[in-house]
């Protein structure tokens, strides 16, 4: 059944990207059949990380003309797995589940459902089952293989840590000061029990809301090998239904996550 669902998604994707007989798959890449949207924040010294995580550092190794007369530049970078636009492998909160390098590609490529709660999200808001079923009342049940994206509007606050996280303090003492929206554990359990989503993303630092101390939403979803995408940018650019997501993280062997480049294709 899983293989059939994936095949259906692929066929639907190709059909949407090439609606006319004279079109080819090349239309996906040259702008004829639709538009690509980058949903990734750049990594820099402004990138927001969890208060207990090491931030992003770019260290210059070489920059300028070589003795041979050609230009050459090279850098080293250092970063926690979990910061900026990044990927959560299920093993991040579920022992024995997939690490970064073993998450199947079909979990990271598929149709995107954008549930928009930006008109009611508060710093401690948790997306509810009613929010999910309200989206389905308009668009129909999320089909197997959907990548669910939660738009809270928090992207408008990036990269101000006080507005985005609730605090600019660092270290363990800053964690109780975090305030941002997330997905409620009840809604996470409803998804596990009633839908077959492939992944979940959000435009905040965590799929659990900032005041969570037990990270139940992480535990519920990751136990089912459903990976997470956090700090996803520019979700306001996507329709609530009809776009296709490609979320490709750094492939770290045995990793619990890593930097993510995530893009969406919106067919014409």
For residue 135, what are the CA distances in angstroms to 63, 142, 229?
50, 9, 20
Residue 7: how many other CB atoms lie within 10 Å: 11
Give me the sign of the Cα torsion angle 178, 180, 186, 190: negative
DSSP 8-class letter at 49: B
Per the annotation, the verdict on 139 as an active-site residue is: no
Q: What's the CA gap between 125 and 184, in Å, rounded? A: 9
Nearest to 188, CA basis, from 167, 211, 206: 206
Residue 183 neighbours by CB under 8 Å, 6+ apart: 126, 127, 150, 200, 202, 207, 208, 209, 217
Angle (CA) 200-251-155 rounded to 5° is 40
For residue 10, what are the CA distances in angstroms to 4, 50, 129, 162, 262?
10, 36, 28, 41, 18
End-to-end Cα, the chain, rounded Å: 30
Q: State the alpha helices, DSSP H only, in the chain.
A: 2-17, 129-139, 161-165, 185-194, 216-222
Q: What's the CA gap between 96 and 92, in Å, rounded? A: 10
CB burial of residue 46 (10 Å; 0-12, 13-18, 19+): middle
Helices 129-139 and 185-194 sit at what angle, rounded to 10 degrees? 50
The one catalytic residue among 92, 139, 179, 218: 92
- Active site positions, annotated: 92
């Amino acid at each position: 059944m899983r293989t059939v669902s994936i095949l259906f998604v692929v066929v639907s994707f190709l059909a949407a990207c090439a609606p006319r007989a004279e079109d080819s798959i090349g239309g996906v890449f040259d702008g004829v059949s639709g538009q690509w949207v980058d949903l990734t924040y750049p990594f820099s010294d402004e990138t927001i990380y969890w208060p207990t995580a090491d931030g992003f550092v770019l260290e210059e190794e070489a920059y300028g003309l070589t003795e041979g007369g050609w230009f050459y530049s090279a850098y080293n970078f250092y970063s926690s797995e979990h910061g900026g636009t990044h990927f959560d492998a299920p093993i991040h909160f579920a022992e024995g589940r997939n690490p970064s390098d073993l998450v199947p590609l079909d979990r990271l490529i598929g149709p995107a459902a954008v549930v928009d709660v930006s008109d009611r999200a508060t710093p401690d808001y948790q997306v509810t089952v009613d929010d999910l079923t309200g989206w389905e009342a308009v668009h129909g049940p999320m089909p197997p293989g959907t990548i669910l994206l939660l738009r809270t509007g928090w992207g408008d606050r990036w990269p101000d840590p006080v507005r985005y996280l609730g605090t600019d303090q660092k270290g363990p003492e800053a964690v109780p000061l975090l305030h941002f929206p997330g997905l409620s554990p009840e809604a996470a359990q409803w998804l596990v029990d009633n839908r077959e989503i492939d992944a979940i993303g959000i435009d905040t630092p965590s799929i659990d809301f900032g005041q969570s101390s037990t990270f139940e939403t992480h535990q519920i979803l990751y136990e089912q090998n459903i990976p997470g995408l956090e700090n996803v940018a520019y979700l306001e650019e996507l329709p609530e239904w009809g776009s296709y997501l490609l979320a490709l993280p750094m492939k770290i062997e045995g990793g619990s996550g890593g930097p993510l480049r995530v893009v969406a294709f919106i067919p014409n």
